[in-house]
Amino acid sequence: MSNSRNPIRAPESVKALLGRISRNIVAPVAEQRQSQQGWREWLKNKLPEHIETRVTGVVERDGTLTVFAESAAWCARLRFEIVELEAQIRERNADIGKLVVKVMPRTK
């Protein structure tokens, strides 16, 4: 039984449900992945090779660019390099307000 406050809706097809999930979940994940790849390529061209190869990930979220290094030692060295690139990073994306370097070991 339906009333004017809570009308009964026709069921959605599986295709429609999956399409909505794709737009709401998969699309933002794909955008984040593309952003990560863009930053990785950019850093590859800016960092010395011996340090760039130690980067395990890059995430841009909520005005923060987080760069991950494979160990605490490489994290410390990477921090110095990131400070040197700070102006160029903000030139590339003015929304970046904070730069963070963290440890994230490579998975085997």
Q: Residue 15 has what pLDDT?
A: 81
| Between residues 4 and 81, the one the model is more confident about | 81
Q: What is the pLDDT of residues 11-54, one digit of tens each?
A: 788 887 777 766 666 666 777 788 889 999 999 999 999 999 99
> Which domains, ranges and CATH numbers included, belong to the chain?
14-103 (3.30.70)
Q: Lowest-pLDDT range, 27-36, 57-66, 70-79, 91-100?
A: 27-36
CA distance 59 to 96: 11
Q: For residues 104 and 56, is the Cβ–Cβ distance under 8 A?
A: yes
Q: Residue 37 has what pLDDT?
A: 92
CA distance 101 to 74: 10
CA distance 32 to 8: 37
Q: For residues 57 and 39, is the Cβ–Cβ distance under 8 A?
A: no
Q: Residue 108 has what pLDDT?
A: 66
pTM, two decimals, is 0.72
Using CA of residue 65, residue 69, residue 71, residue 75, what is the dihedral sign? negative
Query: Residue 4's pLDDT band (boundaries 50, 70, 90)?
Result: low
**Centroid of chain to Cα 66:** 8
